[in-house]
Amino acid sequence: MTAFFFWTAWAAGTQRPHAEVTYTNNWPHEPLVGNTPSSANLLWSLVSVALLIAGIGSLVAFKLFHRGEDEAPPPPAADPFDGIETTASMKATAKFAGVVIALFALQALPGALTAHYTVEGGGFFGIPPSQTLPYAVTRTRHIQPAVFWIATAFLTAGLYLAPAVGGREPRFQVLGVNALFGALVFVVLGSLAGE
């Protein structure tokens, strides 16, 4: 951690060779170390804000002047999902949904502990678990399952909808779904164990 603090302080406070600005272009603004906004910093900040406002304005103008030209498509007579026949590979994705739920629960518990550390400074309702579970560990245990459950949910949706969109179930799809589930379990458990 001290190496990170040293590196960020060095990059923000050390001037570039043959230049009057630091490696971070005099950011953050700190007059005590001579970091005042450079003319390039001010110029490009103003240009970026102007371009942002112009872009938003052009989108608003486009929406105002093109209102009502596009007709809304007619709604389907029946729910398109009513005609979908559940295939074997679609049924095989049910175990992915269980993993999503488990990872979501696994994310919430260290998240609550991390939130209490923020409020209590290392405590959990007066109990000091930060000696055995420091903030960096609880935050990692909170973020990593979130990445996994979100990715697994997207993967599950793709695997479930692929036969419906394609109109048929590809050969060996069930085998592929089950092999992918094994790989998912291996990666998730390996990552969580390795942290």
Both 28 and 86 in one domain: the answer is no
Both 87 and 20 in one domain: the answer is no
Residue 49 placed within a domain: no
Query: 127 pairs with which residues across the strands?
Result: 124
52-111: per-residue pLDDT in tens?
Answer: 999 999 999 988 887 666 777 888 888 877 878 889 999 999 999 999 999 999 999 888
Residue 129 placed within a domain: yes
Both 88 and 182 in one domain: the answer is yes
For every residue of 57-71, DSSP letters joined together read HHHHHHHHHTTTSSP
Residue 45 placed within a domain: no
Residue 54 placed within a domain: no
Both 86 and 33 in one domain: the answer is no
Of the candidates 92, 58, 76, 60, the residue with the CA atom closest to the CA atom of residue 179? 92
Rounded to 5 degrees, φ, ψ at 134 are -65, 165
pLDDT at 153: 95
CB neighbour list of residue 11: distance below 8 Å, 6 or more residues apart: 22, 23, 24
d(CA 103, CA 154): 14
Residue 68 placed within a domain: no
Say if residue 182's pLDDT is above 80: yes
Instruction: Say how many domains are in the chain.
Output: 2
Both 17 and 87 in one domain: the answer is no
Both 86 and 182 in one domain: the answer is yes
98-156: per-residue pLDDT in tens?
Answer: 999 999 999 998 888 888 777 777 666 777 777 778 888 888 888 999 999 999 999 99
Domain range for residue 28? Answer: 2-37
